[in-house]
Amino acid sequence: MQEIEIFRIVLADDHSLIRHGIKNLIAKKKELLVVGEVCDGEELLAFLKVNDADMVILDHSMQKIGGVEAARQIKRNYPWIKILMLTMHDNQQIFYNAMNAGADGYLLKDDSDEQLILAIKKLRAGKRYISPAMIDDLSGYVLSTYGDRKKKISPELSNREQEVLQLVVNGYTSKKIGDHLGLSPRTVDHHRSNLLKKLGKKNSVDLVNFAVSSGLVIPQSD
């Protein structure tokens, strides 16, 4: 008899009832095992430092470290871990932010138990999964946005450029960016100029609008 290969899953959600319901559902599948439960992003990242996992079912809205930032850090440190973003938001921008951060799948909390199991199965097989409730809207957006072949995919940004872009989106002046990052105003202006060139924008307003709408960065408050 062939031994079953166990797929280890961590549940990250600040609602214990949701974690309990998902755990009970997963327990019905012999090949799936919940190896941990956490209630926020900070606890999740600490858990992954000392425990092995194959997948994280990740709530989008959590305390301390949100789901999108947690996904970004997980993919940076553990690129093999599959991430299924679980959320109540059927908003396109939130979806793109999650997928841009590294999520492999996107499931709504209103979706059925069967869709959750299917999503896990798809991600385990190396595929993507998107909630059926989002498919029509996303298909229309993709056709309208990428139908023009002249549109270019955003180039890769360096870590420093990503930091500067985030602060620009947050409304920081060049002086404040320099103070925050320990850079001279001239160096900050150099990074801003490079960002405008790389992303093909004429001014800071266009740069901010593009960065947010494309999911490159997420506006944050101090």
pLDDT, one tens digit per residue, over 181-198 is 999 989 999 999 999 988
Beta bridge partners of 10: 36, 56
Segment 45-71 shows an average pLDDT of 92
Do residue 32 and residue 86 come from a single domain? yes
Segment 6-35 shows an average pLDDT of 94
Each residue of 79-95: b (16+ CB within 10 Å) or e?
Answer: eebbbbbbbebeeeebb
Do residue 85 and residue 166 come from a single domain? no
pLDDT at 138: 65
Do residue 49 and residue 118 come from a single domain? yes
Do residue 173 and residue 115 come from a single domain? no
pLDDT at 153: 46
Contact 79, 101 (CB under 8 A): no
Do residue 105 and residue 198 come from a single domain? no
Do residue 124 and residue 63 come from a single domain? yes
Beta bridge partners of 57: 11, 84
Residue 222 has pLDDT above 90, yes or no: no
Give residue 88's domain range. 7-145
- Flag whether 169 is in a domain: yes
Share of the chain above pLDDT 70, in %: 86
Do residue 84 and residue 14 come from a single domain? yes
- Flag whether 173 is in a domain: yes
Structure token digits, residue 42: 């900070």
Reduced to 3 states (helix: H, G, I; strand: E, B; else coil), residue 128 is coil
Do residue 90 and residue 18 come from a single domain? yes
Share of the chain above pLDDT 90, in %: 50
pLDDT at 66: 86
DSSP string, 23-48: HHHHTT-TTEEEEEEESSHHHHHHHH
Do residue 55 and residue 122 come from a single domain? yes
CATH number at residue 54: 3.40.50.2300
CATH number at residue 182: 1.10.10.10
Do residue 141 and residue 168 come from a single domain? no
Residue 221 has pLDDT above 60, yes or no: no
Tally Cβ neighbours within 10 Å of residue 51. 11
E-assigned strand segments in the chain? 7-12, 32-38, 55-59, 82-87, 105-108, 129-130
Do residue 80 and residue 166 come from a single domain? no
pLDDT at 99: 84
Summarised one tens digit per residue, pLDDT across range 159-177 is 888 889 988 887 888 899 9
Residue where one domain finishes, among candidates 145, 167, 184: 145
Do residue 123 and residue 186 come from a single domain? no
Residue 207 has pLDDT above 70, yes or no: yes
Summarised one tens digit per residue, pLDDT across range 102-158 is 899 999 999 999 999 999 999 999 998 989 888 776 665 554 544 443 444 456 788
Closest to 73 measured CA to CA, from 31, 135, 12: 12
- Flag whether 153 is in a domain: no
Each residue of 191-213: b (16+ CB within 10 Å) or e?
Answer: bbeebeebbebeeeeebbebbee
